[in-house]
């Protein structure tokens, strides 16, 4: 008895003809279009209307080769009110929110595309790890209330909690310099200057203006530079040197009532500090429950540039400075 061929023919047997007859219905004629299973799969992939394809198979059945010769149909534009398929994600919101009005996907700005590419590259190439520490911020709150007005009188800008954190982070980076490093592909690059970037949201995306030599500045100078950088970032007047040379980044979402979050490392830096909101929480004081203002600090690290022990020492040093900031914030 003759053996079966190694590869079954695409179309042509009576059983295959019968199966193909259960294919796509021609809506104009009220009949079903004969098509091989392979042709139907290809038509679905290429968005080709089988009823409009001239078949070259038995009884005019459509073969895969017939579908391959037809240009794919353009997808229909999205209609407002038509939700995504179950389990699918909507990639872009529709505009023109009126019933029955067709919308358009907004175009990403150049800044947003750059941000997306950099963050995707960081997340997929840098081996991230995260350290979390809740710190009592009573002294920080007191410092903000007592030193802030004096700094405002001298420099004209009232320091924010972000300004205080820039000053504290800069001091911690000076004490634990390995955190003030970056991975350049060939090895670890140690930076002599402490340049702290501040993640800043603008209409077109996210910018990270840099406060250079932050460890050498007074609190008032930090506040003045931060205000100037943020104002120019939001008005589109930043210069290339304003976003260059950062060695560490702070991302503070506390003003949005976020308790804690994990940030993506800003390449090629070794780490980024995510700061949650300042809130009253129950903590243990001398073995007794007490309510104190606290912050949750989350340190994201690139494991190529920093290991867990060094990162933990940096976070511990920073936590100590937050809880005992006097002497550094002059």
CB atoms within 10 A of CB 24: 19
When mean pLDDT is compared across 17-21, 135-139, 270-274, the lowest value belongs to: 17-21
Q: Which class in CATH covers the domain with range 112-323?
A: alpha beta
pLDDT at 107: 66
- pLDDT, tens digit (0-9, with 9 covering 90-100), for 230-244: 999 999 999 999 999
The number of angstroms, rounded, from the C-alpha of 113 to the middle of its chain's C-alpha atoms is: 11
- pLDDT, tens digit (0-9, with 9 covering 90-100), for 35-62: 887 878 777 767 777 777 887 877 778 8
CB atoms within 10 A of CB 243: 16
Active site residue 307: yes
Give percent above pLDDT 70 in the chain. 78
Dump strand ranges (E) for the chain. 25-26, 31-32, 128-136, 181-183, 188-190, 196-198, 200-202, 205-207, 210-211, 248-252, 271-275, 279-285, 288-302
Residue 247 burial (C-beta neighbours within 10 Å; 0-12, 13-18, 19+): buried
pLDDT at 76: 41
Active site residue 212: no
pLDDT at 133: 97
- From the candidates 128, 191, 228, 303, which is the catalytic residue? 303
- The helix/strand/coil state of 151 is helix
Take residue 21 and report the two structure tokens written for it.
């007859």
Give percent above pLDDT 90 in the chain. 58
From the list 101, 45, 95, the residue with the least C-alpha distance to 70 is: 45
Q: Give yes or no for a contact between 200 and 111, defined as CB atoms under 8 angstroms apart.
A: no
Pick the more confident residue, 37 or 251. 251
pLDDT at 224: 94
When mean pLDDT is compared across 40-44, 186-190, 323-327, the lowest value belongs to: 40-44
Q: Give yes or no for a contact between 53 and 71, defined as CB atoms under 8 angstroms apart.
A: no
Domain chopping of the chain, boundaries: 14-68, 112-323
When mean pLDDT is compared across 4-18, 105-119, 186-200, the lowest value belongs to: 4-18
Equal fold, 14-68 vs 112-323: no
Residue 329 pLDDT > 90:
no
14-68: CATH, from 3.40.50.1370, 4.10.320.10, 3.20.20.70, 3.40.50.620: 4.10.320.10
Residue 25 pLDDT > 50:
no
Residue 268 pLDDT > 70:
yes
- Whole-number Å distance between alpha carbons of 157 and 223: 6
Residue 123 pLDDT > 70:
yes
């Amino acid at each position: 008895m003759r053996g079966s061929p190694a590869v079954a023919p695409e179309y042509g047997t009576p059983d295959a003809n019968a199966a193909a007859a259960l294919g796509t219905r021609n809506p104009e004629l009220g009949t079903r279009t004969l098509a091989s299973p392979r042709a139907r799969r290809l038509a679905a992939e290429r968005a080709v209307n089988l009823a409009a394809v001239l078949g070259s198979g038995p009884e005019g059945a459509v073969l895969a080769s017939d579908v391959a010769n037809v240009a794919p149909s353009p997808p229909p534009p999205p209609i407002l009110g038509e939700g995504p398929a179950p389990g699918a994600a909507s990639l872009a919101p529709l505009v023109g929110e009126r019933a029955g009005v067709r919308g358009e996907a907004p175009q990403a700005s150049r800044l947003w595309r750059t941000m997306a590419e950099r963050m995707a590259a960081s997340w997929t190439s840098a081996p991230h790890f995260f350290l979390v520490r809740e710190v009592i911020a009573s002294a920080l709150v007191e410092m903000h209330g007592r030193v802030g007005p004096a700094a405002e009188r001298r420099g004209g800008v009232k320091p924010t909690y972000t300004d205080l954190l820039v000053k504290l982070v800069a001091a911690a980076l000076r004490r634990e310099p390995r955190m003030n490093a970056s991975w350049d592909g060939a090895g670890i690059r140690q930076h002599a200057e402490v340049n702290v970037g501040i993640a800043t949201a603008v209409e077109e995306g996210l910018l990270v203006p840099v406060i250079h030599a932050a460890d050498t500045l007074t609190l008032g100078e930090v506040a003045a530079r931060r205000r100037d950088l943020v104002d120019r970032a939001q008005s589109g007047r930043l210069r290339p040197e304003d976003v260059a040379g950062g060695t560490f980044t702070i991302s503070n979402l506390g003003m949005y009532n976020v308790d804690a979050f994990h940030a993506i490392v800003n390449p090629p830096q070794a780490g980024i500090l995510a700061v949650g909101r300042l809130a009253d929480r129950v903590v243990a004081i001398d073995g007794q429950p007490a309510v104190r203002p606290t912050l949750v600090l989350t340190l994201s690290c690139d494991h190529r540039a920093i290991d867990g022990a060094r990162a933990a020492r940096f976070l511990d040093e920073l936590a100590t400075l937050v809880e005992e900031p006097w002497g550094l914030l002059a």
